């Protein structure tokens, strides 16, 4: 549920005032949509995969299954449910390069794999510097939102959380990550030359990666300075503006509440554009990953804002004045 985009220096975790099951219902809806939409899109909105593509899909599915099993077992054994968060940025790199190699390293597939690698390296670095990765791979900083979610009454007793961990955190999220790379899979055997649409998709994707990187650095700088002052014994309300709000309103965060999420969703939509450049058609079934990712971020961002609103008095005003994803009017 939580791609590792918003994990920051938050050490103090409060339960949201409104402990409603909205996000849990959304989870069920997501799984239902996936189970129904994926086969229907494949059947009615081609193209069909050939034997070589199905063989590659089988290999990727085995990796996905092993990853899901790892996330569930390690997550339960350590009570650290960020195991999938750690793999979120690494698996697409592996998937796209496997597809590129099996597809004969065509220019389009190589460009797609290189862009996904840049995306993954950025996200991995950003997550690593927040303490997510350790030599003891089962350790590392857990996304603070998992602790809040585990404490909800809907997941008591623990067996309910185990079911959620198995089906949603481990299986669903691993499957979703695989789905985001489906545009590369459908292009595996395409012989249409790299064209202007591919160039546009590549330029947009690269620009969005840069945008995300800038947002990362602005958030890192804000949270680092804020927590440095708090560790010195200062109270939040006594910090200089804008740190006394508790949340970042500087730079890109002043025109969008979730600039990272905006870029992340857009990146995978641009990744899908390569299928248009490859002549697959404006609409084809490989779009399912990007669409489900958008819905996932709607739920994830809503839960994150529920937590932030419970901790920071001015956050509600920030939500009223600043666009959730798309850059808009600046907050002052």
pLDDT at residue 26, rounded to an integer = 63
The DSSP code sequence of 221-258 is: HHHHHHHHHHHTT--GGGSPTTGGGSS--SGGGGT-S-
Rounded Cα distance between 307 and 311, Å, is 7
**Across 77-82, average pLDDT:** 89
Q: Alpha carbon 232 to chain centroid distance?
A: 33
Rounded Cα distance between 324 and 298, Å, is 10
Burial of 186-203, coded b for 16+ CB within 10 Å and e otherwise, reads: bbbebeeebeebbeebbe
Q: Alpha carbon 326 to chain centroid distance?
A: 17
The answer to whether 302 and 23 are in contact (CB under 8 A) is yes
18 pLDDT more than 70 = no
The pLDDT-based confidence of 27 (bands split at 50, 70, 90) is: low
Q: What share of the chain is helix, strand, coil (3-state, %, to 5)?
A: 70, 0, 30
Kindly state the DSSP code that residue 45 receives in the 8-state scheme. S
**Across 35-54, average pLDDT:** 84
Mean pLDDT taken over the chain: 87
How much of the chain exceeds pLDDT 90, in percent?
61
**Across 13-34, average pLDDT:** 56
Q: Alpha carbon 29 to chain centroid distance?
A: 18
Q: Read off the pLDDT of residues 165-219 as tens digits, 9 standing for 90 and up.
A: 999 899 999 999 999 999 999 999 999 999 999 999 999 999 999 999 999 999 9
Residues contacting 95, CB < 8 A, separation 6+: 60, 63, 177, 178, 181, 184
**Across 40-44, average pLDDT:** 79
14 pLDDT more than 80 = no
């Amino acid at each position: 549920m939580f791609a590792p985009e918003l994990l920051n220096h938050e050490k103090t975790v409060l339960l949201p005032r409104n402990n409603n099951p909205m996000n849990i219902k959304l989870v069920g809806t997501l799984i239902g949509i996936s189970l129904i939409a994926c086969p229907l899109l494949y059947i009615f909105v081609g193209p069909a995969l050939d034997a070589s593509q199905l063989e590659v899909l089988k290999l990727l599915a085995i990796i996905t299954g092993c990853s899901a099993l790892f996330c569930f077992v390690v997550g339960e054994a350590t009570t650290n449910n960020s195991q999938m968060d750690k793999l979120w940025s690494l698996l697409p790199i592996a998937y796209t390069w496997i597809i590129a190699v099996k597809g004969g390293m065509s220019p389009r597939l190589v460009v797609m794999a290189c862009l996904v690698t840049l995306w993954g390296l950025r996200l991995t670095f950003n997550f690593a510097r927040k303490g997510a990765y350790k030599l003891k791979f089962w350790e590392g900083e857990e996304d603070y939102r998992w602790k809040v979610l585990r404490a909800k009454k809907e997941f008591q007793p623990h067996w309910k959380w185990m079911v959620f961990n198995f089906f949603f955190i481990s299986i669903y999220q691993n499957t979703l990550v695989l789905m985001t790379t489906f545009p590369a899979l459908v292009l595996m055997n395409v012989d249409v030359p790299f064209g202007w649409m591919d160039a546009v998709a590549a330029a947009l994707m690269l620009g969005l990666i840069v945008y995300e990187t800038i947002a990362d650095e602005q958030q890192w700088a804000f949270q680092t300075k804020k927590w440095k002052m708090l560790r010195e014994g200062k109270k939040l309300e006594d910090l200089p503006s804008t740190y006394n709000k508790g949340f970042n309103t500087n730079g890109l965060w002043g025109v969008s509440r979730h600039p990272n999420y905006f870029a992340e969703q857009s990146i995978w939509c641009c990744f899908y554009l390569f299928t248009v450049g490859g002549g697959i058609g404006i609409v084809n079934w490989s779009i399912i990953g990007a669409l489900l990712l958008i819905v996932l971020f709607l739920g994830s961002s809503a839960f994150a804002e529920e937590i932030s609103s419970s901790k920071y008095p001015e956050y509600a005003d920030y939500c009223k004045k600043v666009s959730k994803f798309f850059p808009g009017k600046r907050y002052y």
